[in-house]
Structure 1
Amino acid sequence: MTETESLTTHERIVRAATVCFRRWGVEKTSMSDIAAEANLRRPQLYRHVESKEALIVTTIVHAAEELSRRRLAELPIEGPATDLIVKSLVMGHDDLLADAFASHLIGDGARTFLRLLGGDSGLREAQQLWWVPVITYGQERGELRRDLDVDEITDWFLMSQIAMVEHAERYPTRDSVRRHLRTFIVPAVAAHAEPAPRK
């Protein structure tokens, strides 16, 4: 049995959609293209997905899951939490820039990207495969703010990464990406940024 034959129908569709979106772009890809790539008839495709927009969301979530798993495999949760966060955000930035499909969506405007994902909890859940243990680790070490919960910090990182990719020309090198993250993004959630308690 080949790898393709061992995939579920849903997995075949997600893989086919990702291939098509990257090959032709979102606008030029039709559901017929995706069905053909998945070796399905168009009516069969619609039994599993309701629309192209729904499939776009699914492919983005799938890519986020893959990134979280790669982070877990490649980045040990040890040492200073802020260093670990910067490394993982650089990895995410590189991934988004390398993925023509995601970059295209963000290039159309962050509002479009977030509108597609607004009603779907899957992206946050996919990201939190990585961020829950990392943020918890940082809070337990006293490096990250305890007045912010995991959802708030995860959302902050997501919004920041989308903004950085949307304006990628401002960060032409990895060093410039790291500098922006260390100077502006990570300090917002670092423990020293925690507001003083109200009297």
Structure 2
Amino acid sequence: MTELRQKILEAAVRVFMRYGVGKTRMNDIAQETGIARPTLYASFKNKDEILSASILHYSDLSLAGIRHEWDHLEKLSDKLDVFYERAIIASFQIITASPDARDMIGGHNAVGKAATKKAQLDKMSAWAELLEQYLPADEQRPVSSEQLAQYIVLSSLGLRDHAENEIQLRQLLQVQKQGILALLNCD
């Protein structure tokens, strides 16, 4: 990614958080970036393209950070904690800090929702790959790595979206964690 594209995406996220995706205009993003509108349009065709690129960029950064931390940990319980902190609790904090953040994180429209779906699939893929080392041999598996990965990602996002506050979210994630560890007979 070019430095300009990254600068635009960072500015776009700030503007989306400030005004909401629906009220943000390309001119707002150009001004926040400190560039002329033609320069913005040379990098992105429209706001939908910026929204999609922003969602994927920040999701990729988050997943890269999660994978990096996973590389230094052995226990599944610790890896779950990293995922919860960096993907679920961090996004909950963003959502609760800005009334318009849910609009962006949720994808806002069909293009954004497609980007959000891809980000979720990327996380599921990372989990499925990771879980292979914790699941017993194929004939003894209670679930497939793909099924469990899907459960981890989608249910933790559901908990994030319905928790009343961060304390409740953390408690619910601990219940989920205990269930996953019990299912896999891990500590």
Say how many residue pairs are matched.
Answer: 182
Of 3, 6, 14 in structure 2, the residue corresponding to residue 8 of structure 1 is 3
- Alignment partners' CA distance in 1, 2:25 and 2:143: 46
What does 1:1-199 correspond to in 2, within 5 Å?
8-75=3-70, 76-79=72-75, 81-100=76-95, 104=100, 106=102, 116-118=112-114, 122-124=118-120, 126-127=122-123, 130-139=126-135, 145=141, 147-150=143-146, 152-169=147-164, 172-173=167-168, 175-182=170-177, 186=180, 190-191=183-184
TM-score by length of structure 1 reads 0.66
TM-score by length of structure 2 reads 0.70
State the 1:12 CA deviation.
Answer: 1.6
* Contact 2:26–2:37 (8 Å) recurs in 1: yes
* Contact 1:107–1:166 (8 Å) recurs in 2: no
State the 1:187 CA deviation.
Answer: 6.7
CA RMSD of aligned residues (A): 4.0
Residue deviations 1:151-171, cap 9 Å, x none? x44443332233122212076
* Contact 1:90–1:177 (8 Å) recurs in 2: no
* Contact 2:15–2:29 (8 Å) recurs in 1: yes
Cα pair distance change 1:67/1:177, threshold 3 Å: farther
- Alignment partners' CA distance in 2, 1:88 and 1:163: 14
Question: Gaps spanning 5+ residues in structure 1: where?
Answer: 1-5, 193-199
Q: Identity across aligned pairs (percent)?
A: 17
Residue 26 of structure 1 aligns to a residue whose secondary structure is: coil
